Amino acid sequence: MKLGPWLPDQPPHGHDGLVVARNVFATPMGYGPVKAYSAVTAALANTYQGGRVFIGIDGTVALLVGTNAGLYRYNGTGWDAEHADTYTNSWQFAQFGDLVIGTQGAEPIKYDISASTAGLLGGTPPNGKFITTVKDFVVIAGVDSANSTVYWSAINNAEGWTVGTDQSDFQIIPDGGEVTGLAGGEYMLVFQREQIWRGQYVGTPLIYQFDKISQGVGCIAPKSIAQVGRTVYFISQRGFMAFTDGEIQMIGANKVDATFFGQYSTADIESQVSVAVDPIRKLVIWAMPRRLWCYNWELDRWTDVEGDFFAVSTGADQSYTFEQIAALYPDGMETVPGSFDDPIWQGGNPFLMIVANDGTLGSFGASTNLQANIELPFLEPAKGRDIRVRAIRLDTDAVANVRVELEGRRRLGDASTEFLGSSIRLNGDMPVRASGRYIKPRLIFDESADWDYVDNFDFVQAAQGGRW
């Protein structure tokens, strides 16, 4: 029996999905392990409010983080303050050539990657919270005093903000209330809570033509927006969404939406969520405190990860020399977690960046795995009669440190009887004695388990006669 998709919104019986898919990632071979968190940076002294890794035109890599005390860059061993001030809002970043521009509701900050200098963005840019780039323009929105207005820079000039000069201008969105986020690329997407507008570049005199392309579906959290090619992912009042060339797909409906919104309030989502793309694993990951909600866009499958972290970001990793790695791990190179082949060490490669509660940044790059839990719904293998299970057979490359637990019920409303299995035998069976009409399997891969995939499981059973 194939392990199906994670469907926590479904009842605990009567479907082919999973009830729990914790600390695993969906893969073409079923499910695979999540490595334990491995810190790469020193801890921030201030509150993390957003960050990314950027690559300059000449290949220079910069890990930049916005905090409540200003903009910081990681130098390989510690954090350098690039611009100091006091900020209360989250930071968003966009790259325009060699300039990285950060917005947080106050004056936008620029960082020149090649020159390694920071300062206020030139011209008279708006003090917005949201930023993106569209073609040859920088676009900003989220100004408190004009929260339904979108502004864009002069063409090919991130520091030209004089309206009417070199195509710099603004647009007041006529209905739908405040702007709640932006996405860019070939055209701009302007999100409101229950609407989406598309701004298409048309040149002078209009510069951009705005058309409402969604009514009733918008974005409730600007930090929930992520872009993969032509697809934009976001959280709406109706759940997790994917927008591609005018088509909206409800990627969480009847899967995880009800579970997600049952755990968090809208206010918590708006203030705490962050999102990142893991291009290696083909994942979009939304982070809430201590929990990641992971969507594989190729397989259309979800999983979740729990740990001591609160945010995620996407970027290319900083290039580390062996001397810098040694400085990060002064107790010896043998204490470096994971392998030197991990993407985080290689320089210029994309990776998922995790922000831990202790203020460090890192990745799932440790040599050990997180304990993984996979739980199926109550199954009725014999379709109308009781069975006795003698063993479980797994399709996995694990050979040790895997456990199976079964719950047995004669009626779905009865209390469960717990049955514990033993280790994997040489023939691949995991002996367990269980009986019932309905059986719920639970698979547990310990932290010490060495494995790459699990895809299938089967009951080794015999018919049970009589009643019990």
Residue closest to 70 by CA, chosen among 80, 55, 85: 85
User: What would the DSSP string read from start to end of 145-165?
Assistant: TEEEEEEE-BTTBTT---TTS
Q: Which two tokens stand for residue 312?
A: 């995620």
The verdict on residue 384 lying in a domain is yes
In this structure, what DSSP letter does residue 128 have? -
Question: Phi first, then psi: what are they for 328, rounded to 5°?
Answer: -70, -30
The verdict on residue 159 lying in a domain is no
Which domain covers residue 392, as residue numbers? 20-33+370-463
The sheet with strand 130-134 has its strands ordered as 130-134, 137-143, 146-152, 169-172
414: CATH: 2.60.120
Quick one: pLDDT at residue 365?
A: 86
In this structure, what DSSP letter does residue 280 have? T
The verdict on residue 444 lying in a domain is yes
C-alpha 412: how far from chain center: 35
Can you name the residues that pair with 292 across neighbouring β-strands?
Answer: 287, 305
The verdict on residue 236 lying in a domain is no
Q: Is the pTM of this model over 0.85?
A: yes
* Amino acid found at 4: G
Q: State the DSSP H helix or E strand holding residue 191, giving kind and residue range, or none if neither.
A: strand 188-192
Q: What share of the chain is helix, strand, coil (3-state, %, to 5)?
A: 5, 50, 45
What is the distance between the alpha carbons of residues 341 and 339, in angstroms, rounded to a whole number? Answer: 5
Quick one: pLDDT at residue 317?
A: 42
Neighbours of 335 (CB within 10 A): 9
| Number of residues assigned to the chain | 468
The verdict on residue 293 lying in a domain is no
Please give the tally of structural domains in the chain.
Answer: 1
The verdict on residue 318 lying in a domain is no
**Unique residue bearing structure tokens 């992912």:** 233
* pLDDT tens, the chain, 468 aa long: 899 999 999 999 989 999 999 999 999 999 999 999 999 899 999 999 999 988 888 888 899 999 999 999 999 899 999 999 999 999 999 999 999 999 999 999 999 999 999 999 999 999 999 999 999 999 999 999 999 999 999 999 999 999 999 999 999 999 999 999 999 999 999 999 999 999 999 999 999 999 999 999 999 999 999 999 899 999 999 999 999 998 999 999 999 999 999 999 999 999 999 999 998 899 999 999 999 999 999 999 999 999 999 999 975 544 444 454 554 455 665 555 444 444 444 444 557 899 999 999 999 988 899 999 999 999 998 888 888 999 999 999 999 999 999 999 999 999 999 888 888 888 888 999 999 999 999 999 999 899 999 999 999 986 544 333
Query: By three-state DSSP, how is residue 343 classified?
Result: helix
The verdict on residue 317 lying in a domain is no
Quick one: pLDDT at residue 332?
A: 62
The verdict on residue 212 lying in a domain is no
Radius of gyration in angstroms for the set of CA atoms belonging to the chain, rounded to a whole number: 25
Q: State the DSSP H helix or E strand holding residue 429, giving kind and residue range, or none if neither.
A: strand 429-436
